[in-house]
């Protein structure tokens, strides 16, 4: 049986974090759970601290999603986990599908398995700007590295030890999910996706506005192109 950890990055998610943790305990009680509190100024850390069986990694200030997730991946690597699952704290990610992600890693389908919103019927409906941006990014990534991934921005994903070793060493700072696909590709690792039914955000407010979504798309598209020409030193075992 694989040694699995679920990593939850959290910034001011006091309204939803307890529910996500409870659902994880109910659906995958055999998996470890670590919450990376990214410098929250609400009660997120206190709520997590009160949840039994959860490891809390509290950052002294807000690093952003890239720094929070790399912290989680470093924890996974240093503690010898076979598989790491990334899951948001806002309730959008279908915790009931975590085991499906893990099973596809275990059967060797790919080194990274992504839960995709776009190959399944879903109640999740992003804004028009986001929908267009996500579609263009997915097509851009597919043009550059192939693989046919339709949801390159999904943060609901699982990866094996080889991929964990890579992202623990090198991880993008801002909106990292599409870039990670290119970085893993440069290390000879494979990504695939499965359909999942995403939920509407259960609380809090998204940090990306329509204008921000356009900026995000342009910035990430350029970063992805640059990543193709970077030379990466492979970690041991990759």
The answer to whether residue 234 sits within a structural domain is no
- Number of structural domains (the chain) is 1
pLDDT at position 124, please? 53
Specify the length of the chain in residues. 238
What Å distances lie between residue 104 and 114, 141, 182, 196, CA to CA?
10, 22, 20, 13
Cα dist from 170 to 119, 174, 179, 230, whole Å: 29, 13, 11, 12
Pairwise CA distance, residues 27 & 197, whole Å: 16
Question: 20 lies in which domain range?
Answer: 4-227
* Residue 201 confidence (pLDDT): 65
pLDDT at position 237 is 61
d(CA 17, CA 218): 31
CB 156 within 8 A of CB 6: no
Q: Phi and psi (nearest 5°) for 105?
A: -70, -45
CA pseudo-torsion sign 91, 96, 97, 99: positive
pLDDT tens digits, the chain, 238 residues: what are they?
A: 789 999 999 999 999 999 999 999 999 999 999 999 999 999 999 999 999 999 999 999 999 999 999 999 999 999 999 999 999 999 999 999 999 999 999 999 999 999 998 765 555 555 544 554 556 677 777 777 777 788 888 999 999 999 999 999 999 887 789 899 999 999 999 999 999 999 886 655 555 555 566 777 778 778 888 887 887 877 876 6
At 65 the three-state DSSP class reads: helix
- Kindly state whether residue 123 falls inside one of the protein's structural domains: yes
Please indicate, yes or no, if residue 220 is contained in any of the structural domains: yes
Contact 7, 85 (CB under 8 A): yes
Q: Is 154 contained in some domain?
A: yes
Cross-strand bridge partners of residue 116: 195
- Does 233 map to a domain? no
128-145 and 177-186 are packed helices; what angle lies between their axes, rounded to 10 degrees?
A: 0
Helix pair angle (177-186, 161-169), 10° resolution: 110
The radius of gyration of the chain's CA atoms, rounded to the nearest angstrom, is 17
CB atoms under 10 Å from CB of 192, counted, come to 16
15 lies in a domain? yes
CATH code assigned at 170 = 3.90.550.10
Question: 233: which DSSP letter?
Answer: P
pLDDT attached to residue 128: 44
Contact 173, 100 (CB under 8 A): no
Let me know if residue 128 belongs to a domain: yes
């Amino acid at each position: 049986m694989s040694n699995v950890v679920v990593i939850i990055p959290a910034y001011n998610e006091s309204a939803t974090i307890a529910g996500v943790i409870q659902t994880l305990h109910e659906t995958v009680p055999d998996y470890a759970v670590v919450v990376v509190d990214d410098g929250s100024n609400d009660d997120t850390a206190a709520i997590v601290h009160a949840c039994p069986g959860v490891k809390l990694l509290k950052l002294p200030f807000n690093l952003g999603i890239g720094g929070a997730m790399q912290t989680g991946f470093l924890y996974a690597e240093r503690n010898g986990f076979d598989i790491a699952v990334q899951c948001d704290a806002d309730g959008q990610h279908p915790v009931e599908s975590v085991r499906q992600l893990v099973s596809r890693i275990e059967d060797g389908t790919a080194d990274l398995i992504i839960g995709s919103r776009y190959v399944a019927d879903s109640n999740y409906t992003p804004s028009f700007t986001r929908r267009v941006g996500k579609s263009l990014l997915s097509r851009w990534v597919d043009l550059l590295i192939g693989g046919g991934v339709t949801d390159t921005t999904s943060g609901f994903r699982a990866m094996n030890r080889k991929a964990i070793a890579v992202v623990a060493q090198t991880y993008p700072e801002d909106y990292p999910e599409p870039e990670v696909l290119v970085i893993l590709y440069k290390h000879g690792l494979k990504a695939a996706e499965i359909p999942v039914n995403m939920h509407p955000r259960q609380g809090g407010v998204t940090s990306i506005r329509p204008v921000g979504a356009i900026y995000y798309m342009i910035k990430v598209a350029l970063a992805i192109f640059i990543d193709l020409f970077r030379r990466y030193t492979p970690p041991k075992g990759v």
